[in-house]
Each structure stands twice: as C-alpha cells, then as structure tokens.
Amino acid sequence: MSEWLSSLLANPAITTALWSAFGETLLMVGIAGIATVLIGLPLGVVLFVTQRGGLASNRLVNFVLGGVVVNITRSVPYAILMLSLIPFTRIVVGTSIGPIAASVSLTIACAPFFARLVEASLREVHHGKVDAAHAMGSTRLQTVWKVLLPEAAPSLVANVTTTVVALIGYSAMAGLIGGGGLGRLAYNYGYQRFQPEVMVVILVILLLLVQIVQLTGDAVVRRIDHR
C-alpha cells in the first residue's frame, strides 16, 4: 500500500490536482458554512420565538417559515436541489460552475437544516431563566440576545459542527455537478480514469477533515460549557 501511495504522490500532476481540489473544497465549505450560520441562526431564532407560546407568538409567520420554507427545502434531495438552483446561481454569482457557485446551493440546502437545530437548542434553555429575564424588565430582543443565545451556546456550537460536517459531505456531491473540489477529482480520476487509489486518498482526506472539524467543535463546546 505504501508503494502505490508513494508512487501516486510522486506524480506532480496528481499532487497539484489534490492541492487544488482540497483548496476548492475548503473554499466552498467555508463560504457555505459562514452563510449558513448567518442565515440559519436568525431563522432558527424566529422559528423559536414565533411558535405557540413563544416570546412573539405568530402562527402565520411560523407556518410560512417553518412549515413551508424550511420543511420543503429540507425535503428536496441535494442533487436535485443543486440542479434546480442553476439559474438562480447564475443570477447570484454569474456562473453555475466552480466552488463559489456550489456554495450557493450548499447554503440553501444547509441553512434550513441548521435553523431547525438552532430552534431545538433554544428549546433546551430552561424556561425559568426566560421568566427571570422578563421579571427584571428585559425586552424580547434582550432576552434572546442575553439569555437564550448565551445559555444555548454549547449546543449551538455543537450544531455548527454537525452542519459543517454535513457540508463537507455535500461538497463532495457538488463536485459531481460542476462544483469542483475533491468530489470532482475523485470522479475524474477514480471513476473515469479507473484509478481507485486516487479515490482512496480523497476518501482519507475527507475523513481526516471531518475528524478535525469534529474534534475542534468538541473542544470549543467543552471550553464554553460551564454547566
């Protein structure tokens, strides 16, 4: 195994392609991860506060955002979603090919998923702390910003970790539809050129990347969790 691995990595074309694909994967996961948090976090908060008995209960808003936008988007398989978003992606970034274009569909696929995780995290906060904040005269915005989010922080970080891991898996799938990255490289070399060793190396890289993200997320959770 070490011999074919050494010979594989000694090929400058393969090595260059691996580094380039790895960079594209990091780019699309990074952009999509940041966008997912920026969109999914407030969406999850709105879903929580507008639910029945919430801080700003509004059944219509909750139904439209949760029952229509979030649930429908989550029910569409990612491959179909990415293909259907090609016209929209062209409008947003000017192209439907490459890691930046893929980050659009990755964000739309994962933001609703992350929003539901945020909603679940906020539900874990003890209601007595919210009542105490109201008793001290906190507004709804202050309650969310100073009570709910800080109390749910460990769970939110764990959910960010879960979402980034899911994004890594989706990014490999995006590579098959013009997104680039390690998924595209595995398809081009491992499948089309009958080089399974390339696919094995890419699989190991993805596994290591997932492990690094998971271990980092777990470390942050342990650091901020004071319960």
Q: How does pLDDT run across 165-195, given as a tens digit for each residue?
A: 999 989 888 877 777 888 888 877 766 666 7
DSSP 192: I
Instruction: Pull the structure tokens for residue 124.
Output: 């874990």
Q: Does pLDDT of 1 surpass 70?
A: no
Give CA separation, 90 vs 20, 95, 96, 222, in Å: 23, 4, 5, 41
Mean pLDDT, all residues of the chain:
86
pLDDT at position 134: 76
DSSP 177: G
Q: How does pLDDT run across 50-60, given as a tens digit for each residue?
A: 998 888 888 99
Q: Does pLDDT of 16 surpass 90?
A: no
Which long-range contacts (C-beta less than 8 Å, at least 24 apart) are formed by 153-158? 153/224, 154/221, 154/224, 154/225, 154/227, 155/120, 155/121, 155/124, 156/41, 156/118, 156/121, 157/217, 157/220, 157/221, 157/224, 158/217, 158/218, 158/221
Q: What is the pTM assigned to this prediction? A: 0.89
Q: Any idea what the CATH number is for the domain that residue 76 is in?
A: 1.10.3720.10
pLDDT at position 7: 58
Q: What is the distance between the alpha carbons of residues 12 and 102, in angstroms, rounded to a whole number?
A: 27
Q: What is the distance between the alpha carbons of residues 128 and 139, in angstroms, rounded to a whole number?
A: 16
Structural domain of 94: 2-224
Q: Are 167 and 219 in contact (CB under 8 A)?
A: no
Looking at the structure of the chain, the number of domains it has is: 1
pLDDT at position 52: 87
Strand, helix or coil at 22?
Answer: helix
